[in-house]
Structure 1
Amino acid sequence: MSSETQHRFRTNLLEWGKENRREYPWRQLDRTLYEVFIAEFFLTQTPADNVAAVYPGFLERFPTLEEITEAGEQELVEAIEPLGFQNMRAEALKQIASTHDHLPIEPEALMELPRVGRYVANATLCFARGDRLPVLDRNVERVYSRVFRDAWPETEADQLTFAQRLVPDEARVYNLALLDFGALVCRTEPLCEQCFANKYCVYFQGSAGRT
Structure 2
Amino acid sequence: MNASVDFTHRLLTWFDRHGRHDLPWQHPRTPYRVWLSEIMLQQTQVGVVAGYFSRFVDALPDLPALAHAPQDQVLALWSGLGYYARARNLHAAAKLCMERHGGDLPRDIDALIALPGIGRSTAGAILSQAWGDAAPILDGNVKRVLCRVFGIDGWPGTPAIEKRLWALAATLLPQARLADWTQAQMDVGATLCTRANPACARCPVQDVCVARIAGRTAELPTPKPGKPRPQRQAHMVLAMDATGRVLLQRRPPSGIWAALWSLPEFDDQTTAQQWVARQLDSGDARALPVLIHDFSHFRLHIHPHLIVVNGLRTGIGDNAALCWAGRSELAGLGLPAPIRKLLQEHIP
TM-score normalised by L of structure 2? 0.56
* Structure 2 CA distance for partners of 1:81 and 1:149, relative to 1, 3 Å: same
Structure 2: which amino acid aligns with 1:168? Answer: P
More strand by share: 2
Partner of 1:27: 26
Structure 1: which amino acid aligns with 2:53? Answer: Y
Cα distance between partner residues in 1 of 2:122 and 2:55: 21
Determine which of 6, 9, 12 is the counterpart of 2:7: 9
Gaps of at least 5 residues in structure 2 are 98-102, 220-348
Structure 1: which amino acid aligns with 2:165? Answer: Q
* Structure 2 CA distance for partners of 1:194 and 1:64, relative to 1, 3 Å: closer
Determine which of 200, 212, 221 is the counterpart of 1:192: 200
Gaps of at least 5 residues in structure 1 are none
Determine which of 145, 156, 165 is the counterpart of 2:171: 165
Determine which of 184, 188, 207 is the counterpart of 1:177: 184
Partner of 2:123: 121
Cα distance between partner residues in 1 of 2:205 and 2:87: 41
Matches within 5 A, 1:96-107: 96-100=93-97, 101-107=103-109
TM-score normalised by L of structure 1? 0.89
Structure 2: which amino acid aligns with 1:97? Answer: A
Correspondence 1:206 to 2:205? no
Judge conservation of contact 2:150–2:209 (CA < 8 Å) in 1.
yes
The count of residues paired between Structure 1 and Structure 2 equals 207
Correspondence 1:146 to 2:110? no
Cα distance between partner residues in 1 of 2:54 and 2:119: 24
Judge conservation of contact 2:96–2:115 (CA < 8 Å) in 1.
no
1:114: Cα distance to partner? 0.9
Matches within 5 A, 1:69-88: 69-86=67-84, 88=85
More helix by share: 1
1:102: Cα distance to partner? 1.7
Seq. identity, %: 32
Report the 3-state secondary structure (helix = DSSP H, G, I; strand = E; otherwise coil) of the residue aligned with 1:53: helix
1:151: Cα distance to partner? 9.1
CA displacement, residues 28-80 of structure 1 (integer Å, 9 cap, x when unaligned): 3x321111101111111111111100112211211222212322111111011
Partner of 2:62: 64
Report the 3-state secondary structure (helix = DSSP H, G, I; strand = E; otherwise coil) of the residue aligned with 1:199: helix
1:210: Cα distance to partner? 5.4
Report the 3-state secondary structure (helix = DSSP H, G, I; strand = E; otherwise coil) of the residue aligned with 1:103: coil
Judge conservation of contact 2:5–2:174 (CA < 8 Å) in 1.
no
Cα distance between partner residues in 1 of 2:83 and 2:60: 18
Cα distance between partner residues in 2 of 1:198 and 1:128: 30
Relative contact order, CA 8 A, sep 6+: which one is greater? Answer: 1
* Structure 2 CA distance for partners of 1:95 and 1:16, relative to 1, 3 Å: same
* Structure 2 CA distance for partners of 1:27 and 1:167, relative to 1, 3 Å: same
Of the two, which has the highest radius of gyration? 2
Judge conservation of contact 1:204–1:210 (CA < 8 Å) in 2.
no
